[in-house]
């Protein structure tokens, strides 16, 4: 399966993706340096123009401050997480909230709901409120739309996401324990009515037991293609 008109998507492991289009690089969820699934040769970047943060748990957010200061991208996050980043000296914050859409470096970014939690762990181990978790619809100038669900359980409003935004590709967590597993992701596939799914957020740690094969089996009666990428794998 190829992506449309020059979009290149690389899975960096867990829930982190690098998306390249028209000379722009977008990083979705900024866990790279200590991400055990991320290949070493992909832990540095030529540039990052846009950073999208779904929520502030360490396995999605741990490198946000360092990467933002090094590459000075436009950083999109929910308001409270954006405020925390600003307090750490991060510039170019473009905070938003659910239901809103903004154009960032030529792509339209819509923040949508996710059913999860969101706390920022401070250096002393305390946890502060990071706002609500989120997912994103990323629409490219050629009309192609990617839905990154963030960390979430299945929720009935995925049907609304399908009807309003009609994504072409969904990046769905399947690991279980901290997010939905294959059973719930298969239900999400039916709600979303999306033609292609790339599973994510599985296999990084032993507790994340969901597999793409299980999702494929549970969606055998659905008109959806399950693309199993390996960490470092690219669709282009």
Q: Express each pLDDT in 122-172 by its tens digit.
A: 999 999 999 999 999 999 999 999 999 999 999 999 999 999 999 999 999
User: What pLDDT is stored for residue 236 in this prediction?
Assistant: 84
Q: How many helices (H) and strands (E) does the chain have?
A: 6, 15
User: What pLDDT is stored for residue 214 in this prediction?
Assistant: 98
CA 159 vs. chain centroid, Å, equals: 19
Q: Are 60 and 15 in contact (CB under 8 A)?
A: yes
pTM of the model: 0.97
- Residues whose CB is less than 8 angstroms from the CB of residue 202 and which lie 6 or more positions away in sequence, other chains included: 173, 174, 175, 176, 208, 209, 210, 211, 212
Q: What integer is the mean pLDDT of 53-61?
A: 98
Residue ranges of E strands in the chain: 8-11, 17-21, 24-28, 50-52, 74-76, 101-104, 107-113, 119-121, 127-129, 134-139, 145-148, 169-173, 196-200, 225-226, 234-235
């Amino acid at each position: 399966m190829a992506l449309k008109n020059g979009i290149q998507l690389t899975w960096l492991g867990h829930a982190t993706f690098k998306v390249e289009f028209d000379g722009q690089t977008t990083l979705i969820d900024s866990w790279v340096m200590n991400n055990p699934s991320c290949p070493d040769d992909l832990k540095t970047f030529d540039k990052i123009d846009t950073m999208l943060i779904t929520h502030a748990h360490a396995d999605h957010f741990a490198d946000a401050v360092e990467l933002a200061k090094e590459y000075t991208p436009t950083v999109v996050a929910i308001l409270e997480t954006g405020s925390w980043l600003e307090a750490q000296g991060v510039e170019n914050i473009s905070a938003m909230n659910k239901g809103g859409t903004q154009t960032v470096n030529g792509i339209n970014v819509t923040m949508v709901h996710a059913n999860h939690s969101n706390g920022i762990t401070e250096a002393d181990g305390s946890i502060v409120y990071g706002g609500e978790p989120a997912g994103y619809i990323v629409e490219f100038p050629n009309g192609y739309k990617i839905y990154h669900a963030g960390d979430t359980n299945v929720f009935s409003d995925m049907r609304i996401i399908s009807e309003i935004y009609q994504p072409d590709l969904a990046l769905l967590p399947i690991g279980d324990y901290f997010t939905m597993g294959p059973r719930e992701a298969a239900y999400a596939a039916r709600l979303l009515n999306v033609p292609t799914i790339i599973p994510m957020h599985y296999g990084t740690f032993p507790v994340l037991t969901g597999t793409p094969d299980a999702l494929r089996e549970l969606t055998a009666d659905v008109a959806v293609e399950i693309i199993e990428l390996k960490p470092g794998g690219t669709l282009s």
